[in-house]
Structure 1
């Protein structure tokens, strides 16, 4: 602990000690002046704060000053009743301030107590109570706003933490002020009681103990008691006023003095009305014009000067803006550059779906978005950009839209008071619901209510709650469009991550063998076929091995896929079970090999429309038959034709995986459930 910490502890202890141990009058005078100084300091600090939290220690300080003041009351009362004196300060307040009259002193003291107790303290207590209630009621909304800004990427985690702490501190502060105001109220009551005790007790002690005449005793102890009450109630009044200023203070950019002069005198023309009103009072009332007209003149002159100053400030500001770089910048076409920014991923929803994003209503969409980003990082090896979440009143109440780089790529509608029930394959007529289509995979489904949910589960239906439907759809959309989210900047960040642990491979590859854009093309082709790029080190090492022989991104992608054979095998094969595939027949392989044309710009595939239609029908029939058995269809072909077959298939079946023999581990068992041939336009099955 530091010296100042010990000083505070000792001061608090001494406050309690002074209530028990008699103090000399000289020390009492010093402590009384210290009390007045503290009260003045507190009210000046309260007037210069810009917001209440800048004086967050005020509730505790209010308690300590109240305790200090009561301790002084006890000590001065002991001195007055014992020694017939309370020190020079109290005697001065009792004789000079109130003119030596006990009756005037009592009246002044009562007026001060009434002002403090009924006006300032009562008002501050009510304001603090209302402020505490409204602050607590607004906490959920503020927290939701912070979470929304964080989920939308408008603020960082550190900024969100600071804003949450501020919201919590505001609630604690106004709650503490609500309680601390009770101490001020109690202090006012205690001041009245202590003064009455001093007067009555002093009268009794003066007559019975000191043998003073009753009139002399009444005058002596009444003046001393009034002086004691004044020196305690004046600081109490200052601190009560400070409490009122703090709890009524709104957040602003300036202190109280700046705000008053800026806002109260913001309309100089109104002061002319004030001056005119005063002039009418001087003319039509018996009040002497010599008293009113000077005041009216001062008000009118002040209005004239303020109006002149405002015109000068506006003129200077206008001239400054005309020639300022900011004004010139606004005239340039480049000033709209910020409007050209397009978010990588956007999730918009109608007002009826607000509960899925509102934590106060049980919504957990923001938490699900965080998990989606983590899941994509683990499965795909990419850092998904911040997903901007916003409501859109132009959408239907239960509709949502997913956008990738400003373009709408997916949409759906959900019913928050229902559950999505997906059939196990055999529909049950007893399950009644609203027919729909599962948005992520396009499967037929039903929206069922709470009563039908249990019956649907008993019938084997898969039941999914609305937030899970949305998060699943969003996850699948991100996976399907992951290749669009990997730009050069993102690729550079991934490569720099590898450089930290394996700088040699990065230095060898970039920029000596490949440019950053060429690496990006390879990564995009891998992600387009849902191949994870998390093993970035192996990808870069493979590119470094083969980039010297070929710059074709298609060829380099094939080399990388073969290097990732174990990963691809585990992606599609189940351990201990054969991998069921559709194989490309010899005639199909031959047709693709013959249709590849080479040019200076690269290789391209050229197949006539009739043959393309036959191939499309054959592959679609085989894939459909395999999909009906609950197995994901996979087309297996030779390494030489895989990339061309993938280019052909992705136009009508982008989700159909096309693998080559070199991309599967030798120990995996492959079971062909069909073969695609085009020699006679027929499909053969095994």
Structure 2
């Protein structure tokens, strides 16, 4: 049924255009012409009502096309009525139908001279005032809209890159901007239809009058006076019948192009702006003074002054009326004070950002909430890097914190805390700055760089001196991004893993079936993926990771063993974060004898505690830090490559001092990858204890 209705609506417009051509070419009887005239008036009224009720111009985006067809329909009726007037005008005033007769006799009293002046006045109003003004507004609106189009597109791209909007929202806004430009461009051309229609009405009236004055005496033997009275009266009636819908469409076009976007229709927008007692009180006073002047129509002016004064008094009473909250539809249940709900003792949010009261302006919606937009951008970018959706971050004020202190919590554990100055800028010394800055010395909370809080007005000078200048919101968002990346394993749970499996199932159903729930339960798979994230291995290439896990699961069901088994397969994914394709991999290794002793100790560790003797561990850490210091200063990434048997123990040892340093086994480095050994960590042969 719906398909038939859609087909019917699709065929309605071609049938209407065909009917319009028939009306222009084929003679139609007067009763049918009356029906078409009334339909034309009804269509014009409907278009005017839609234009007045639109909240913004784009709500009536089909108006230019509607205006075109309505104008063609009216011109077609003019052709048909001209044919009837000239052919049957000698038969009397009702020869062209009752609608033309009513407009020619009732509205102008049967006096064609009065009718000519009335038509002329309507033409002046329509052509000179309404149509010309609407055309000028359409032209200016189209020009400004097209000039602003590139800037609006760039603003959408900037909001998308900043994470303030989603790709779907950006696509929707781009469509709206494009539709707006097309609409105002079409309206600029459509205004010419209305102007041309008014000129055509004037020419058709002249043709009817001249034709009647010729046909009456020549074809029907009428006197000049009788022909003038009969034909001119019908011509004026025909012109007025066409001019009334034309005037309504001109008003609709002017109302559309002069609208300002609002959440109310035109009546509500005007009523809201005029509904103030401060508007009507001066009106009442001025009219009252004017009505007291000698010679004025006191009764009328003072009557309007009284109406304006009553309106002002009534509006003032409404403003002073207290706002009473609506009563609930159902009586609220009585709350038992002794009852404690689960919502009071649990917190379903994994990530929290607690702020002191001095940082509340950064999340105040009345000031644009700049921090909230940055947090959304951090989540979106981090989700793309890690391969799963990072949970939402709840921002809340905590009166126990110092005014300018913030605290980052992940699963109830504080992972970071620092202070910022919301009214100042942080100038970071990235190693290329020169000169000292006046301000409060501090350390960057994310990278530990030397920094200074400076006044906003000194930001340009600090940038020129080589400093990286950022605001407080950016400092907090960057710190949040770093800590969430470092604690990504804490953000992944069985629900997120199941979502990864569901997404992969659409592309590789057999792979998912061979992976979970058999042979690996969801909990074990979650432990494996959390272990990868803990060592900075993202889950973006989840299909490759899942394939490696499915193969390793045939050999072991232990999460740690599976993770070690799949790491050689994932080696290229790990290494591509450390160096380019043509760039050699900078590595550090352990001295051979030391590595052999550590391997013996790990093989003797049947409990798999992976513990290295404390004194040896301290010496290894000191040597590693000393060798890594130059590379860290130059921001050159590197990896520590060891034997597979001792990789886990070395990783546990290294993450306490160099958490961002990846520890790889020899099998994880592809054979074709060039390697540059930058340091060899050696040591004496102490007693080892596993």
Partner of 2:30: 25
Q: Does structure 1 conserve the Cα–Cα contact (< 8 Å) formed by 2:639 and 2:661?
A: yes
Partner of 2:181: 171
Partner of 1:445: none
Q: Which moved more, 1:102-111 or 1:286-295?
A: 286-295
Q: Does structure 2 conserve the Cα–Cα contact (< 8 Å) formed by 1:53 and 1:173?
A: yes
**Residue 649 of structure 2, aligned match among 644, 653, 672:** 644
Partner of 1:353: none
| Residue 26 of structure 1: how far off its partner (Å) | 1.9
After superposition, what is the alpha-carbon deviation per residue over 1:407-452, rounded to whole angstroms, capped at 9, x for unaligned? Answer: 634999xxxxxxxxxxxxxxxxxxxxx9999x9xxxxxxxxxxxxx
Partner of 2:571: 568
After superposition, what is the alpha-carbon deviation per residue over 1:548-602, rounded to whole angstroms, capped at 9, x for unaligned? Answer: 6xxxxxxx54652234334438966999x99998453224653797799999996
What is the 5 A alignment of 1:526-541?
526-527=535-536, 534-536=544-546, 538-539=548-549
Q: Does structure 2 conserve the Cα–Cα contact (< 8 Å) formed by 1:614 and 1:678?
A: yes
Give, in whole Å, the separation in 2 of the partners of 1:562 and 1:614. 26
Q: Does structure 1 conserve the Cα–Cα contact (< 8 Å) formed by 2:595 and 2:643?
A: no
**Residue 408 of structure 1, aligned match among 442, 446, 458:** 446
Give, in whole Å, the separation in 1 of the partners of 2:540 and 2:26. 83
Give, in whole Å, the separation in 2 of the partners of 1:601 and 1:677. 24
**Residue 485 of structure 1, aligned match among 482, 488, 493:** 488
What is the 5 A alignment of 1:515-594?
516=526, 518-519=527-528, 521-527=530-536, 534-536=544-546, 538-539=548-549, 542=552, 557=560, 560-568=563-571, 582-587=589-594, 589-590=596-597
Give, in whole Å, the separation in 2 of the partners of 1:317 and 1:239. 44
Name the CA shift for 1:14/1:370 in 2 (closer, same or farther; >3 Å): farther
Name the CA shift for 1:333/1:311 in 2 (closer, same or farther; >3 Å): farther
Give, in whole Å, the separation in 2 of the partners of 1:246 and 1:569. 61
Determine helix, strand or coil for the equivalent of 1:50.
coil
Q: Which moved more, 1:22-31 or 1:662-671?
A: 662-671
Q: Does structure 2 conserve the Cα–Cα contact (< 8 Å) formed by 1:596 and 1:606?
A: no
| 2:218 corresponds to 1:208 | yes
Determine helix, strand or coil for the equivalent of 1:250.
coil
Partner of 1:252: 262
After superposition, what is the alpha-carbon deviation per residue over 1:374-415, rounded to whole angstroms, capped at 9, x for unaligned? Answer: 9x76xxx73475999xxx996699999xxxxx9634999xxx
What is the 5 A alignment of 1:611-630?
612=618, 616-617=622-623
Give, in whole Å, the separation in 1 of the partners of 2:481 and 2:323. 55
Determine helix, strand or coil for the equivalent of 1:97.
coil
Q: Does structure 1 conserve the Cα–Cα contact (< 8 Å) formed by 2:532 and 2:538?
A: no
Partner of 1:139: 149
What is the 5 A alignment of 1:151-170?
151-170=161-180
Give, in whole Å, the separation in 2 of the partners of 1:342 and 1:240. 57
| Residue 503 of structure 1: how far off its partner (Å) | 5.3
Partner of 1:316: 324
Q: Does structure 2 conserve the Cα–Cα contact (< 8 Å) formed by 1:153 and 1:386?
A: no
| Residue 243 of structure 1: how far off its partner (Å) | 0.8
Partner of 1:494: 500
Partner of 1:58: 63
| Residue 14 of structure 1: how far off its partner (Å) | 2.2
Q: Does structure 2 conserve the Cα–Cα contact (< 8 Å) formed by 1:566 and 1:664?
A: no
| 2:277 corresponds to 1:272 | no
Partner of 1:361: none
**Residue 133 of structure 2, aligned match among 123, 133, 137:** 123
| Residue 152 of structure 1: how far off its partner (Å) | 3.9
Q: Which moved more, 1:503-512 or 1:1-10?
A: 503-512
| 2:225 corresponds to 1:219 | no
Partner of 2:194: 184
| 2:311 corresponds to 1:302 | yes
**Residue 230 of structure 1, aligned match among 232, 236, 240:** 240
Give, in whole Å, the separation in 2 of the partners of 1:230 and 1:338. 70
After superposition, what is the alpha-carbon deviation per residue over 1:92-129, rounded to whole angstroms, capped at 9, x for unaligned? Answer: 21222112222211111010000000111011111111
| 2:60 corresponds to 1:67 | no
Determine helix, strand or coil for the equivalent of 1:202.
helix
Give, in whole Å, the separation in 2 of the partners of 1:166 and 1:584. 65
Give, in whole Å, the separation in 1 of the partners of 2:572 and 2:80. 89
What's the RMSD between the two structures over aligned residues? 5.3
| Residue 291 of structure 1: how far off its partner (Å) | 2.0
Q: Does structure 1 conserve the Cα–Cα contact (< 8 Å) formed by 2:570 and 2:668?
A: no
| Residue 615 of structure 1: how far off its partner (Å) | 6.8
| Residue 237 of structure 1: how far off its partner (Å) | 0.2
Q: Does structure 1 conserve the Cα–Cα contact (< 8 Å) formed by 2:387 and 2:538?
A: no
| Residue 289 of structure 1: how far off its partner (Å) | 1.7
Name the CA shift for 1:47/1:165 in 2 (closer, same or farther; >3 Å): same
Give, in whole Å, the separation in 1 of the partners of 2:15 and 2:547. 64
Give, in whole Å, the separation in 1 of the partners of 2:670 and 2:107. 102
Name the CA shift for 1:617/1:515 in 2 (closer, same or farther; >3 Å): closer
Give, in whole Å, the separation in 1 of the partners of 2:324 and 2:227. 71
Give, in whole Å, the separation in 2 of the partners of 1:578 and 1:308. 80
Give, in whole Å, the separation in 2 of the partners of 1:671 and 1:278. 94
Name the CA shift for 1:228/1:557 in 2 (closer, same or farther; >3 Å): same
Determine helix, strand or coil for the equivalent of 1:67.
helix
Q: What TM-score do the two structures reach when normalised by structure 2? A: 0.67
Give, in whole Å, the separation in 2 of the partners of 1:650 and 1:547. 26
After superposition, what is the alpha-carbon deviation per residue over 1:625-666, rounded to whole angstroms, capped at 9, x for unaligned? Answer: 9xx9xx997655444433333344456666665444676799
Give, in whole Å, the separation in 2 of the partners of 1:224 and 1:176. 36
Give, in whole Å, the separation in 1 of the partners of 2:76 and 2:194. 15
After superposition, what is the alpha-carbon deviation per residue over 1:319-341, rounded to whole angstroms, capped at 9, x for unaligned? Answer: 99xx999xxxxxx999xx99985
Instruction: Give unpaired runs (5+ residues) of structure 1.
Output: 326-331, 344-368, 401-405, 413-433, 440-473, 549-555, 682-686
Q: Which moved more, 1:639-648 or 1:12-21?
A: 639-648
Name the CA shift for 1:255/1:670 in 2 (closer, same or farther; >3 Å): closer
Partner of 2:108: 98
Partner of 1:328: none
Q: Does structure 2 conserve the Cα–Cα contact (< 8 Å) formed by 1:615 and 1:678?
A: no
Q: Which moved more, 1:100-109 or 1:132-141?
A: 132-141
Size of the alignment, in residue pairs? 565
Name the CA shift for 1:7/1:509 in 2 (closer, same or farther; >3 Å): closer
| Residue 668 of structure 1: how far off its partner (Å) | 11
Q: Does structure 2 conserve the Cα–Cα contact (< 8 Å) formed by 1:42 and 1:242?
A: yes
What is the 5 A alignment of 1:432-471?
none
Name the CA shift for 1:385/1:624 in 2 (closer, same or farther; >3 Å): same
